[in-house]
Amino acid sequence: MEKFKTVTSKAAPLDMPNVDTDQIIPKNFLKRVERTGFGQFLFNDWRFNDDGSENKSFVLNQPEHKGARILLARDNFGCGSSREHAPWALLDYGFQVIIAPSFADIFHNNCFQNGILPIRMPAEQVEELFQAVKKDAATEFTVDLEKKTITFAGKSLPFDLAEPMRQKLLLGLDDIGWTLQFDAEIAAHEKQVVAGIRVA
């Protein structure tokens, strides 16, 4: 996993609650056996018309939002299916930061496994970011994970993130490598407890 570095970019505003992972990556694209190449299918049913042409009214197809690496979203982003193809698609398309008032749990976890920073902020502050983009789509936002701040249009908002998660992204740490340091402790647990029942 790559180390997370400060991101400075425009932000694309996806103004709807409960965006589920079936929308982020529809199921007909889950049949690949690789982790890569999912970006072309991101939000497929919203991005493309039935004849395969671009749906001009969808936010990611509007020229002023192209190239954004930050996605603004509303409540409960990433709900539904556990498919990790959703963060794979977002990352492959170019999004490194997602900002929303709340995220679904599994999606939130999956982001950290892939170097995506999901930022939870109070709804009023997220609204402020939406307003800034509405006023000027070219507004640049700087997301600084060292300082835990988002800076835009001359102001700076702090955000909160659990320290182990912040470290994981900053160092690009692989969870499996971390856990394998505790091999002896895991083996000890296996000798003492089986299916929740203490045996030794």
Partner 1 sequence: MAKTLFEKVWDAHVVDIWSNPNAPKKEENKNLIYIDLHLVHEVTSPQAFDGLRLNKRKVRRPDLTFATMDHNVPTKDRDKPVKDPISAKQMEYLKRNCDEFGVPCFDLKSYNQGVVHVIGPELGLTLPGKTVVCGDSHTSTHGAFGALAFGIGTSEVEHVLATQCLVQSKAKTMRVNFKGKLNPGVYAKDMVLALIGKIGTAGATGFVLEYAGEAIEALSMEGRMTICNMSIEAGARAGMIAPDEKTFEYLKGREHAPKGAEWEKAVAYWRTLKTDAGAKFDVELDIDCNRLAPQVTWGTSPGMVVDVTANMPKLADAKDDVERVGIKKALEYMDFAEGTAIENIKLDKVFIGSCTNSRIEDLREAAKVIKNRKVAGSIKLAMVVPGSHRVKDQAEKEGLHEVFKSAGFEWREPGCSMCLAMNDDVLEPGERCASTSNRNFEGRQGKGGRTYLVSPAMAALAAIHGHFVDARKEV
Which positions lie near partner 1, rule CB under 8 A?
15-18, 20, 22-23, 26-28, 30-35, 45, 50, 74-76, 79-85, 87, 102-106, 109-110, 113-114, 162-164, 175-176, 178-182, 184-186, 188-190, 193-198
- Which strand ranges, in their side-by-side order, compose the sheet holding 155-158? 7-9, 141-144, 149-152, 155-158
Single out the residue of 134, 137, 132, 135 nearest to residue 154, CA to CA.
132
Q: Minimum distance between the CB of residue 133 and partner 1, rounded to whole angstroms?
A: 16
Using the minimum distance from each CB to partner 1, give the nearer residue, 5 or 120: 120
The CA dihedral of 69, 140, 46, 31, to the nearest 10 degrees, is 0
Q: Minimum distance between the CB of residue 116 and partner 1, rounded to whole angstroms?
A: 12
Answer whether 150's CB lies under 8 Å from 142's CB: yes
Answer whether 123's CB lies under 8 Å from 102's CB: no
Q: Minimum distance between the CB of residue 58 and partner 1, rounded to whole angstroms?
A: 13
SS3 label, residue 13: strand
Residue 11 dihedral angles phi and psi, to the nearest 5°: -125, 135
Using the minimum distance from each CB to partner 1, give the nearer residue, 1 or 7: 1
Q: Minimum distance between the CB of residue 140 and partner 1, rounded to whole angstroms?
A: 26
Using the minimum distance from each CB to partner 1, give the nearer residue, 138 or 162: 162
Using the minimum distance from each CB to partner 1, give the nearer residue, 69 or 83: 83
